[in-house]
């Protein structure tokens, strides 16, 4: 069942039945048969349609932001900001896609050759709720320009967002057999992946979901891209403005109510700054982030996406405290709705669950490191490897530390975030493959060698 439940109140707004097996099979057939015609469209035509989609996303930003606020509790201003990034992504691939898909001449030992860059077929996208429009854009924009077709299964709490995205693409000129939104259930995903008409899958979601989908895709030899969880480290080496550093790092962690895979969940501070950093961070988190209505632009702390999500994070905090962590502020559920106080935890040790697990909510863990080397060791002591950040005043030192961090992305003096032209993805248990930038259009591409 797909449902719309307002996380600010817990009120059930709408329920939608899952698609039947027959409806899902019909949707697979649509994108399978639609591939032949879509791939033959000149790349310039496909790019022009994607450019038109960018304009429509911009025009409907307020509508999309309101949907996100209702369905998963995103602050209204953050929703508008998310749509802005979506517009950038569609425009990036509309502008650069034709060049990225140009034939690549080669000189080989026996003469001349070239690499052609071609689509591979109908793809399944399994999308999450935390960035309901942006996550779809990362997968959809490059693949539409490339010439692949898409069957999209969105999160079960985001039916209105998924329908709104589909309508924008159709209004832009995407054929209704090149992109199909389907209210499939998790039960149906394995046999969708087993269907030979689906040739690849992109999933953004939890580690458990990624393992399940990767296993099914592997059994069926399907190309896979996975963007999974993260427990990103943020290392503070030094600063010439501690107040500003605290403000910036708190903002990065609390964005989207802490529900970002690449948010800085573990802050690692060198010993000479640690005590003052923790005091200032605790004050900032406790005083600035106050629960409120996510539709009010003045709100600083919205609800989590669901009551279940808020309960899970609250339980993780309680377990950390029981195991010996120090609660500096927050940690309690606030009702009604899916609210949790913004939280700071210190004294988390490797024996505690919180040391290894991803906490997907407004919770900051702060660690003390005596040396630069210890900070790097703590940063890398994680099963995840999505993003990281290094904060300091010496660019050479920052870069030296960044090179030693085990992650797919490292930011200097900023954290999290995304850019249409910069590849996004992780290593270890944070996933496989890359999205965005030039790399994002290559994952589901047939790089065909032609010997001339």
Residue 161: band (very low, low, confident or very high) from pLDDT cuts 50, 70, 90: very high
DSSP state of 335: T
Q: Is 124 helix (H, G, I), strand (E, B) or coil?
A: strand
Residue 140 tokens, joined: 């959809």
pTM recorded for the entire structure: 0.97
Handedness of CA 340, 344, 346, 348 (dihedral sign): positive
Give yes or no for residue 209 having a pLDDT over 90: yes
**Alpha-carbon distance 29 to 410, whole Å?**
41
What is the predicted pLDDT for the residue at 257? 98
Cross-strand bridge partners of residue 123:
150, 200
**Alpha-carbon distance 203 to 386, whole Å?**
15
Residue 145: band (very low, low, confident or very high) from pLDDT cuts 50, 70, 90: very high
Going by C-alpha positions, the residue among 237, 175, 261 that lies closest to residue 413 is 237
Q: Are 292 and 313 in contact (CB under 8 A)?
A: no
53-69 confidence digits (pLDDT tens): 999 999 999 999 999 99
**Residue-level length of the chain:** 452
Q: Is 337 helix (H, G, I), strand (E, B) or coil?
A: coil
Average pLDDT (281-287) is 98
What is the predicted pLDDT for the residue at 407? 98
Average pLDDT (203-218) is 95
Please tell me which residue in 71, 207, 227, 358 is annotated as part of the active site: 227
Residue 363: band (very low, low, confident or very high) from pLDDT cuts 50, 70, 90: very high
What is the predicted pLDDT for the residue at 335? 82
Average pLDDT (151-175) is 98
What is the predicted pLDDT for the residue at 416? 83
Give the H/E segment covering residue 137: helix 134-146
Q: Are 371 and 386 in contact (CB under 8 A)?
A: no
pLDDT greater at residue 96 or residue 416:
96
Average pLDDT (311-338) is 97
Average pLDDT (145-157) is 98
CB atoms within 10 A of CB 351: 9
410-423 confidence digits (pLDDT tens): 999 999 889 999 99
Percent above pLDDT 70 for the chain = 100
Residue 274: band (very low, low, confident or very high) from pLDDT cuts 50, 70, 90: very high
Strand 384-385 with 427-428, pairing:
antiparallel
**Annotated catalytic, 216?**
no
Q: Within 13 A of 338's CA, how many CA atoms are on the CB side?
A: 30
Residue 443: band (very low, low, confident or very high) from pLDDT cuts 50, 70, 90: very high
CB atoms within 10 A of CB 257: 32
Give yes or no for residue 52 having a pLDDT over 90: yes
Using N-to-C axis directions, what is the helix angle for 159-172 and 61-72, rounded to 10°? 160
**Alpha-carbon distance 450 to 50, whole Å?**
29
**Alpha-carbon distance 14 to 2, whole Å?**
8
Judging by beta carbons within 10 Å of its beta carbon (0-12, 13-18, 19+), is residue 220 exposed, middle or buried? middle
Q: How far is CA 175 from CA 50, 430, 434, in A?
A: 12, 34, 26
Q: Are 146 and 441 in contact (CB under 8 A)?
A: yes
**String of DSSP letters for 351-380:** TSHHHHS---SSEEEEEEESSHHHHHHHHH
Q: What's phi and psi for 141, nearest 5 deg? A: -55, -50
The residue to which tokens 């439940």 are assigned: 5
Q: Report the alpha-carbon angle 70-72-75, nearest 5.
A: 75
Average pLDDT (426-445) is 98
Q: Is 304 helix (H, G, I), strand (E, B) or coil?
A: coil
Residue 22 tokens, joined: 């027959």
Average pLDDT (147-172) is 98
Please tell me which residue in 207, 261, 358, 435 is annotated as part of the active site: 261
Average pLDDT (188-214) is 96
**Alpha-carbon distance 418 to 82, whole Å?**
10
**Annotated catalytic, 158?**
no
Handedness of CA 92, 93, 94, 98 (dihedral sign): positive
What is the predicted pLDDT for the residue at 172? 98
């Amino acid at each position: 069942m797909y449902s719309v439940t307002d996380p600010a109140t817990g009120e059930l707004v709408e329920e939608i039945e899952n698609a039947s097996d027959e409806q899902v099979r019909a949707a697979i057939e649509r994108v399978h048969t639609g591939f032949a015609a879509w791939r033959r469209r000149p790349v310039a035509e496909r790019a022009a349609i994607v450019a038109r989609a960018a304009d429509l996303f911009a025009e409907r930003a307020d509508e999309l932001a309101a949907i996100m606020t209702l369905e998963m509790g995103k602050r209204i201003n953050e929703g508008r900001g998310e749509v802005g990034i979506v517009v950038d992504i569609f425009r990036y691939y509309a502008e650069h896609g034709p060049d990225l898909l140009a034939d690549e001449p080669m000189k080989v030992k026996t003469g001349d050759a070239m690499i052609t860059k071609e689509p591979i077929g109908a793809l399944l996208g399994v999308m999450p709720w935390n960035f309901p429009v942006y996550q779809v854009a990362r997968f959809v924009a490059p693949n539409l320009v490339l010439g692949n077709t898409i069957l999209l299964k969105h999160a079960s709490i985001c039916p209105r967002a998924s329908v709104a995205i589909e309508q924008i693409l159709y209004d832009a000129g995407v054929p209704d057999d090149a992109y199909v939104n389907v209210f499939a259930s998790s039960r149906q995903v394995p046999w969708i992946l087993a269907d030979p008409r689906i040739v690849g899958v992109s999933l953004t979601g939890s580690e458990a979901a990624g393992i399940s989908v990767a296993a099914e895709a592997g059994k069926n030899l399907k190309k896979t891209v996975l963007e999974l969880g993260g427990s990103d480290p943020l290392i503070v080496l030094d600063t010439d403005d501690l107040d500003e550093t605290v403000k910036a790092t708190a903002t990065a962690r609390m964005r989207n109510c802490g529900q970002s895979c690449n948010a800085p969940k573990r802050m690692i501070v060198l010993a000479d700054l640690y005590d003052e950093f923790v005091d200032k961070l605790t004050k900032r988190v406790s005083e600035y982030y106050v629960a409120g209505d996510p539709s009010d632009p003045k709100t600083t702390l919205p609800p989590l996406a669901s009551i279940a999500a808020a309960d899970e994070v609250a339980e993780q905090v309680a377990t950390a405290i029981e195991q010996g962590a120090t609660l500096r502020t927050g940690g309690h559920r606030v009702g009604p709705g899916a609210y949790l106080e913004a939280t700071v935890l210190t004294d988390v040790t490797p024996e505690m669950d919180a040391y290894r697990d991803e906490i997907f909510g407004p919770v900051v863990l702060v660690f003390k490191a005596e040396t630069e080397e210890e900070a790097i060791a703590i940063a890398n002591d994680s099963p995840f490897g999505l993003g990281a950040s290094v904060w300091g005043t010496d660019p050479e030192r920052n870069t030296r530390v960044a090179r030693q961090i085990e992650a797919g992305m490292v930011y200097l003096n900023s954290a999290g975030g995304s850019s249409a032209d910069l590849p996004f993805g992780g290593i270890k248990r944070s996933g496989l493959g890359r999205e965005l930038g030039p790399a994002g259009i290559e994952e589901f591409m047939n790089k065909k060698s032609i010997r001339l």
